[in-house]
Amino acid sequence: MKIYNTLTRKKEEFKPIEEGKVRMYVCGPTVYNYIHIGNARPMIIFDTFRRYLEYKGYEVTYVSNFTDVDDKIIKAAIEENTTAEEISTRFIKECKKDMADLNIKPATTNPLATNEIAGMIEMIETLIEKGYAYAAEDGTVYYRTRKFDGYGKLSHKNIDDLEAGHRDIKVTGELKEDPLDFVLWKPKKEGEPYWESPWCKGRPGWHIECSVMAKKYLGDTIDIHAGGEDLVFPHHENEIAQSEAANGVPFANYWMHNGFLNINNQKMSKSLGNFFTVREIGEKYDLQVLRFFMLNAHYRTPLNFSKELMDVAKNSLERIITAAENLKHLSGVTEKEDMTGEENELFEQTELFVKKFEAAMDDDANTADAVASVFEFVKFANSNASAESSKAYLEAMYQRLFTLCDVLGIIVERKQEILDADIEKLIEERQMARKEKNFARADEIRDTLLEMGIVLEDTREGVKWKRA
């Protein structure tokens, strides 16, 4: 399996530190509002990648944080006249709901920055001891960027170019030794949440959070660190500087970054009025459609979002679900049990689609090609399955489609919700059919209800039903 590594700018063969195990860290959202569809892209992409690793037999420890202390959270709290904690608690809950609707598997651990302050203070102390950080007069602790030799290796930036860029915008009144130095700890301002520290009452900078949470939950060197392309610089560059200086070993072996999401070929922004939360999209579409839409592009390419493209995704997804539904339906009605020799051959032919699927995913998680091989399977299944097929064959075909879609996080079982009144109506219709000795229709209604999870029980008092 090959992964494009931002660090080396090459596709590299993936080799985990420990055989059969993968330690993966994905930067999570800052929780001050509902997540937007740009936030959803890395969540969907790296969840799919994790699912594929698990499909390949790896045991994956997947850590994704919530940044629950930040300027934006404090600002939202002031606007609502509440606490930062209330804001972050609320939006973590909402974020988890959106993630569940996007069928994103829960992480092994979702650490919260505010629970890890002690570890952050400890790492900052180590950095100070090693000469990589210093406390300024006002209690702010800065990272001494030039001291770290590898600075710029992830973003492929030259430190002197960075310095030149900074020289034009000299900030006065700052207590930094060098304009490139960044904040590890900052003093509190009036009304802000704060923690005690050896330097001042204050709170951590954003970058130190991820270095500490990755270390605590995954170790000093991890296999994969992932996130959006916008995090490469400075966030991930700074994480490397902190972690490698403090721990003395490489931080992450592979760095994966997803491309930007645009709306109608424009950058998504509130000021342009083209800003969508996942919740808003969920009001118009099943969120599976959003997931499927995102998988139709390679994760490193920019992705353009539009209503037209979402509708195309919706129709394509419908074709997969219909094919799965059809296989399930046929296996319920066929009278033949065992697979014939001919069916066995047909089934073996579908190995080809599985191989194509795996080859696509092995090639730097090319989900677009993986989806294409699912469609090849669907086409084959549609023309090679009928009520004449055996139950064993139809079930094997269904299972294979189910498994491939499950790697993509696509649920092929249609969600059917039926109201009590509709159930009663169907039961009434079934009673009529039985009276008229139309037993075929009566059985059909029973089966339809059963498919929707409604179990009928004929009793002396009449028909009773319950949700299975």
Rounded Cα–Cα distance for residues 53 and 465 (Å): 42
For the bound state, the minimum distance from the C-beta of residue 446 to Zn ion, rounded and expressed in Å, comes to 54
Residue 27 lies near Zn ion (rule: CB under 5 A)? yes
SS3 call for 191: coil
CB of 27 to Zn ion, least distance (A): 3
Which of 3, 43, 124, 210 is the binder for Zn ion (CB under 5 A)?
210
Q: How far is the CB of 231 from Zn ion (least distance, A)?
A: 6
CB half-sphere exposure, 112, CA atoms < 13 A = 11
Closest CA to 265 of 228, 296, 308: 308
| Closer residue to Zn ion (CB): 205 or 287 | 205
Q: Note whether 154 binds Zn ion by CB under 5 A.
A: no
Q: Shortest Cβ distance from residue 38 to Zn ion (Å)? A: 16
Beta bridge partner(s), residue 56: none
**Cβ proximity to Zn ion, 27 vs 222, nearer residue:** 27
Give least dist CB 162 to Zn ion, A: 20
State which residue, 255 or 305, has the beta carbon closest to Zn ion.
255
CA-nearest of 69, 227, 86, 233 to 151 is 233
How many residues sit close enough to Zn ion to count as binding (CB under 5 A)?
2
Q: Is residue 120 a contact point for Zn ion (CB under 5 A)? A: no
461 contacts: CB under 8 Å, gap ≥ 6: none
From residue 230 to residue 249, the character string flagging contacts with Zn ion as x (rule: CB under 5 A) and all else as - is: --------------------
CA distance 298 to 112: 30
Give the three-state DSSP class for 320.
Answer: helix
Q: Given the complex with Zn ion, which of 123 and 412 has the nearer CB atom?
A: 123
Smaller CB separation from Zn ion, 144 or 257: 257
Find the shortest distance in angstroms from Cβ 234 to Zn ion.
11
Identify the DSSP state of 132: S
Q: In Å, how far are 88, 179, 180, 211 from 163, measured between CA atoms?
A: 35, 7, 7, 24
Q: How far is the CB of 210 from Zn ion (least distance, A)?
A: 3
| Cis bond upstream, residue 234 (ω within 30) | yes
Nearer to Zn ion, 28 or 409 (CB): 28
CA–CA gap between residue 180 and residue 146 (Å, rounded)? 8
Binders of Zn ion among 398-437, rule CB under 5 A?
A: none
Select the span of 110-118, 209-217, 356-364, 418-426 touching Zn ion (CB under 5 A).
209-217
CA distances from 287 to 26, 356, 375, 424, 465 (A): 21, 27, 20, 30, 31
Of the listed pieces 8-16, 25-33, 170-178, 183-191, which binds Zn ion according to CB under 5 A?
25-33
CA 292/CA 56 separation, integer angstroms: 21
Between 210 and 442, name the residue whose CB sits nearer to Zn ion.
210
Tokens of 361: 């995913």
By CB under 5 A, name the binding residues for Zn ion.
27, 210
